[in-house]
Amino acid sequence: MIQPIFISQPVADVRTRRGRAQLTLVAVAAALLAAGLWLLAAAGRRARGIPAGSAVVAELRSASVPLTDAPQNAPSLSERSVVGGPALAAIDRLTAGSALVALGESTHGTHEFFALKDALIRHFVAARGTRLIAMEAPWYGSAQFDAFIVGGPGTAEQAVRALILWPWITEELASLARWLRAYNDPLPADARVRIVGVDPQLPPGRASTPPGMAMAVAALDSARIARQHRDMSRFGFRWWASWRRDRAMGLNALAAVRANRAGGPVILWAHDGHIQRARFYQGGVIADSLGDRYAAIALLAGEGAFNAIRFEGPLRPQLGPWPLRPPPRRSLEHAFREAGFDAAFLDLRAAARRELTAPETSLGEWLAGRVAKRSVGAVFTPGDTTTDFYPARVARQWDGVLFVARSTPSRLIGRGRPKE
């Protein structure tokens, strides 16, 4: 039987009980707030990571493979010794059996990253049979780039300008476009290297579906990508809805894999943040489908300069070369620098296996924990030192790392070039 609730109690008694209840709620709220602040502080300490000790640095030195010639010392972008034989062999071991190999970048505006990708793409095309390259570039402009490398009209500079966004309008990418065109020239149509953009972003004022657009990959039909763009635009491209873009790029990269008829893997060119094996990211979508047949390689730089668009206070956004903040002690970049490398490759899967077979190893344990890692997109705030390094479980989120000690700005073309 439900007991009735009487409302004829003395007013003072009611107020007393109400006051006690309010005090209790305040106390509970204060306790929860204190606990939350403590947890945030603890999380902040963990997020900053643990500095690499001498044992970790020593193991990193022995586990990494030096590049025979650092990119900054290469006389030209066509210098094939940018990545030497031992490093290429290590990368080939890591990516053996891969259906898709993602080459990342911790900034969009580092020349050395372009040089490394130039060398690796040439290797995968010539030695591994790669015939399809997917890029974090607007699908709208990729058709013109693709048409150029298979013998179409225009120049390499016009081809990279068609990609619209400033990170890709560079001398480095134009150089790669010319090499791909020359490589394709003697080949039959079905054996040529093709490029496709997997980013559903559209430039302002462009039609949702370009008339007569020919996609390099039939599975990446323009109507589907236009729907992805409309889905993204409903949220105004807010940062908290960026997972929609990542999901779309992941699905489009998988469509490229399904359409690939060549013996070699598809190469994906995108930012480290996109290719990581993590939920809500492009790499997570790909890894959920391909598993170990997906290999993600992050590209890191120690110090130097890079290109990006600066947003800072009331100042007008400005594209230009900016200094890279020196890596903090808790970062992977700092550990590589302490190990004495100018440029090196680390197989993270091998490091994880080493930890399983030798639990006393320090490197595998350190990489499995939270380690600071640089991640700067096309836009950054130079005065905010909290937004360029992020905590990452490196060994879980990527499969390999390429490191260069010095970064120099990418070589922008025309309007993309910063003013002197």
pLDDT at 263: 85
The SS3 of residue 166 is helix
CA distance 301 to 290: 28
53-416 is a CATH 3.40.1660.10 domain: yes
At 126-136, the pLDDT tens digits run 999 999 999 99
At 267-309, the pLDDT tens digits run 999 999 999 999 999 999 999 999 999 999 999 999 999 999 9
CA distance 99 to 77: 27
Helix (H) or strand (E) holding 154: none
- Of 8-12, 139-143, 256-260, give the range with the top mean pLDDT: 256-260
Q: How confident is the model at residue 139 (pLDDT cuts 50, 70, 90)?
A: confident
Top pLDDT among 36 and 142 is at: 142
Top pLDDT among 248 and 22 is at: 248
pLDDT at 374: 95
Question: How do the domains of the chain map onto residue ranges?
Answer: 53-416
pLDDT over 50 (residue 46): no
pLDDT over 80 (residue 31): no
Q: Do residues 372 and 332 touch, judged by C-beta distance below 8 A?
A: yes
pLDDT at 297: 98
pLDDT over 80 (residue 76): no
Distance of CA 174 to the CA centre of its chain: 21
- Of 10-14, 227-231, 272-276, give the range with the top mean pLDDT: 272-276
* pTM for this model (two decimals): 0.82
Helix (H) or strand (E) holding 321: strand 318-324
